[in-house]
Chain A
Amino acid sequence: MKNKGQNEEKQGLSRRNFLQISGTATAGVAALPLLGSTIGPNQQEKVFEIPKAVEIVLTVNGKKERLEIDPRASVLDTLRYRLNLTGTKKGCDAGHCGACTVHINGERKLSCLTLAMRHQNDEITTIEGLSDGDQLHPLQEAFIEHDAFQCGYCTSGQIMSGVACINEGHAKDTEEIREYMSGNICRCGAYPNIIKAVETTAKKM
């Protein structure tokens, strides 16, 4: 599998952009507007019109992004489908799981329940904006060190939530971390190691 993946990359067709291409070609009409038109930074060609589109400027990880989006688009969909920032995960898309947690003006919030056009004057930070170049954030390092994930799907949300939890001062002890991290569900049940990672990082920071 690994070799095959590498070959695809060489041919200029990664698994991710293959899925995007096929998704655009086969998705139902109703789903299209949420994905947005393709005048984003990584694409040049306009393949369909967004009805009632709005032009917005979003500040993501310190970079201003000018986009034309469907007014119904969430911050989550805009990050993933328009800005190709796929580190933020879509779990339940209903505010239950915390996989989509991002920081908005430094506060952790659920990007699935936020309309992108309402956050034009805000600073959005995603998992991609957490590291300093190749230097991982201490909590990212701690997640590796403490083996704080299995499948990894909830991990970016856990880390974004964990960083905020530490910054808020809600990581004094195990009990407090458990309570203040309860908005991030881990189906693999890596909780003990997630708590260890947050607890040790809180002591260092």
Chain B
Amino acid sequence: MKHFNYTVANSTKDAIKEKSNHKNAYYIAGGSNLVDMMKVGIQRPDYLVDIMSIPFKEIKKEGNSIRLGALVSNTAAAEAALVLQNAPLVTQSITKGATQQIRNMATIGGNLMQEPRCPHFYDLSSACGRRTQNAVCPTTTEKGDNRSNAIFGINNSCNIPHPSDMAVGMLALRSNVILQGKKEARKMPLGEFYHIPSNESTKITYLKEGELITAVEIPLEPGFTHSAYLKVRDRKSYAFALISGAVAFNLKDNLINESGIAAGGVGTIPWRFKNAEQFLKGKMATVENFKKAAAIAIQGAKTGKHNKFKVRLLERILVRTMIMAKNTPYGTN
């Protein structure tokens, strides 16, 4: 690991100042992803700004939304009564990710910012568009192994699906990210926080230089009453999703007033299916309608040689997740 200097920031102002005053400075929170990457040499910070002492640790109801501080641990967020009662999809998705040891370390902000555990990303001798600008991902070439590749938002610089489960759940709930910059704070929908990989940049978020995630806000306006998260992976636990489905419904007498539908393992960034949500609005929660919605969701999927199975799998997982959601009212998990 490369040598680095280190400082503890006690406030957002301090943290932003420290980061902008030092070359090649990084924020560090839970560290479960950054320390790992530093060991391998993927990230080589000269300066670490420890933000764990900043009090972004609130879990509270604020107006008509639930606010989760960026430094709340994944475990604390998943187990909070307020979250279980008002946004159980956050719990359902978090508890399907990683392990309890990692969830105890990882924070909300860090989870959103985590990098992929792609073998090419981790192999410094391999080309990778997420490490080097303009590099072409070997999985996108003729002979590349693309079994785990995304089927939405693909680009020849990177095709690895976004690793977060929590972000998929939060996306279905139409969450917002609260950001603090040097001069101003801003709020953006989680769906607009990420952008698909590009050749011009190694980043996949619109986070500006020095900006900090201070909280995630889960709006209660959609009035969701039911939700479910279904994750299919190569082993039963402690693996990234082959595909995961996240569904939230506002159901009244089996009528869908609102829905939130997203999936993991299919997009280079957490992927939401607004067209399927639109289709379900005002329809009855029947398997017939779920199948039609899923058929709409898979439109536009692009596959390679080895990941053609993902399209059918996604369709079926979405139907299954919708059935599960219909049968899982808030307060029953």
Indicate if B36 sits at the interface (CB-CB under 8 A). yes
* Interface pair B237/A179, CB less than 8 Å apart: yes
Q: Considering the complex, give the chain B residue whose CB is closest to the CB of A54.
A: B6
Interface residues of chain B, those whose CB is within 8 Å of chain A, are: 1, 3-6, 28, 31-32, 35-36, 39-40, 50, 52, 75, 98-102, 104-105, 236-238
* Interface pair B32/A95, CB less than 8 Å apart: yes
List residues of A (168-205) whose CB comes within 8 Å of B's CBs.
Answer: 168, 170, 178-180, 182-183
Q: Mark A147-168, 1 if CB is under 8 A from B, else 0.
A: 0000000000000010011001
A165 to B236 alpha-carbon distance, docked (Å): 18
Q: How many A-B residue pairs have CB under 8 A?
A: 69
* Interface pair A180/B105, CB less than 8 Å apart: no
- 26 residue pairs A–B, Cβ–Cβ below 8 Å: A52-B3, A71-B4, A71-B6, A72-B1, A72-B4, A74-B35, A95-B36, A108-B100, A108-B104, A109-B104, A110-B32, A110-B101, A113-B32, A113-B35, A114-B35, A114-B105, A117-B6, A118-B31, A161-B101, A168-B100, A170-B100, A179-B237, A180-B100, A183-B98, A183-B99, A183-B101
Q: What is the CB-to-nearest-CB distance from A124 to chain B, in angstroms, rounded to a whole number?
A: 14
Task: Summarize A's interface: helix, strand, loop or mixed.
Answer: mixed
* Interface pair B99/A182, CB less than 8 Å apart: yes
Say whether, besides A113-B31, A114-B35, A98 and B101 are in contact (CB < 8 Å).
yes
* Interface pair A118/B50, CB less than 8 Å apart: yes
Q: Which residues of B contact A183 (CB under 8 A)?
A: 98-102, 238
Q: Which residues of A contact B52 (CB under 8 A)?
A: 118
Q: Which residues of B contact A94 (CB under 8 A)?
A: 36, 39-40
A170 to B100 alpha-carbon distance, docked (Å): 10
Q: Considering the complex, give the chain A residue whose CB is closest to the CB of B75.
A: A107
A182 to B36 alpha-carbon distance, docked (Å): 19
Q: Which residues of A contact B99 (CB under 8 A)?
A: 98, 182-183
* Interface pair B35/A115, CB less than 8 Å apart: yes
A62 to B105 alpha-carbon distance, docked (Å): 21
* Interface pair A164/B100, CB less than 8 Å apart: yes
The residue in B28, B35, B236 that gathers the most chain A C-beta atoms within 10 A of its C-beta is B35
Say whether, besides A93-B39, A182-B238, A115 and B31 are in contact (CB < 8 Å).
yes
Task: Summarize B's interface: helix, strand, loop or mixed.
Answer: mixed
A110 to B100 alpha-carbon distance, docked (Å): 10
Say whether, besides A71-B6, A179-B237, A183-B238, A108 and B31 are in contact (CB < 8 Å).
no
Q: Which residues of B contact A170 (CB under 8 A)?
A: 100
Residue in B3, B40, B50, B75 whose beta carbon sits within 8 Å of that of A51 in the complex:
B3
Q: What is the CB-to-nearest-CB distance from B83 to chain A, in angstroms, rounded to a whole number?
A: 17
Q: Which residues of B contact A93 (CB under 8 A)?
A: 39
Q: Which residues of A contact B5 (CB under 8 A)?
A: 52, 71
Say whether, besides A71-B6, A72-B4, A182-B238, A114 and B101 are in contact (CB < 8 Å).
no
A93 to B38 alpha-carbon distance, docked (Å): 12
A128 to B168 alpha-carbon distance, docked (Å): 40
Q: What is the CB-to-nearest-CB distance from B57 to chain A, in angstroms, rounded to a whole number?
A: 14
Q: Mark A105-135, 1 if CB is under 8 A from B, else 0.
A: 0011110011101100000000000000000
Q: Which residues of A contact B31 (CB under 8 A)?
A: 113-115, 118
Q: What is the CB-to-nearest-CB distance from A74 to chain B, in angstroms, rounded to a whole number?
A: 8
